[in-house]
Amino acid sequence: MIRADGAAPVMAIIEHVSAHECRLRAVNVFEVGERLDFTVSVHGAPTIALSGKVVTRKENGARHAYVLSLATTLAQTEAIAKANDAARHRAAHTADVRTENGLTRATLRIAVDFDVLYTQAGSSARSARATNISMGGVLMNTSAELPVGASIEMRLPLGSERVIVNGRIVAHQEMSPNYNVAFYEISDEARESIAGFIESHTKAA
């Protein structure tokens, strides 16, 4: 999660972090020179609170790619090193599912067809239809009107499990019932369940 100038935290995907630099992607627009506070969370390592200044911003599809310059303490530098070690260890012991396009399980999007229950703050549960899923989110089909940027809570029936995740509407084509929903603040347990579901369905295909 990332926060600018006391605003509400938003979801970001951190691609690289070192003692001096962080590269990340986010739907939200931040200005060059803006200072951002964010946390780095890697399974198997403590969460690290960091702060950095935006030095570049580039368009990357529906998201923006950022490079931040960091000024870290010795304790933060050591924590970053431990987090990177944990991430490398985790990657080394996680078998990627590769496709004919060279994608891995982390980027693979598979077709699905199941009901999703979702709620917005202050509203009752509604039903939608998921038509594909990846580690980053789902494509959801519903006749309801949902504004881009809206946050929802979803219950995903992944095999015998019912996984609860938070999602944010990141895209909606006009006159279409399809909504692109990106996961955010996803727990390690939910991430593992989604990864296992994708892997099992890829092997069965």
* pLDDT tens digits for range 95-144: 444 444 343 444 578 889 999 999 988 788 999 999 999 888 899 999 88
68 in any annotated domain: yes
* Residue spans of the chain under pLDDT 70: 1, 6, 43-44, 60-62, 89-107, 203-205
Query: Token digits for 65?
Result: 């790619």
Q: Which of 65, 92, 119 is the last residue of a domain?
A: 92
pLDDT at 198 (0 to 100): 86
Q: Is the pTM of this model over 0.85?
A: no
How many domains, in total, are found in the chain? Answer: 2
Domain coverage including residue 149: 110-204
Q: Cβ atoms within 10 A of the Cβ of 176, count? A: 9
CA distance 68 to 55: 5
- Within-domain flag for 182: yes
Residue 135: its pLDDT value, please? Answer: 87
Q: CATH number of the domain at 139, please.
A: 2.40.10.220
Q: Which of 66, 92, 118 is the last residue of a domain?
A: 92
* In-domain check, residue 102: no
In a domain, 58, yes or no: yes
Do 79 and 152 belong to one domain? no
Within a domain: 137 = yes
Between the CA of residue 189 and those of 51, 111, 186, 195, 196, what are the distances in Å? 27, 22, 8, 10, 11
77 & 125 share domain: no
Going by C-beta distance under 8 Å and a sequence separation of 6 or more, which residues neighbour residue 5?
34, 35
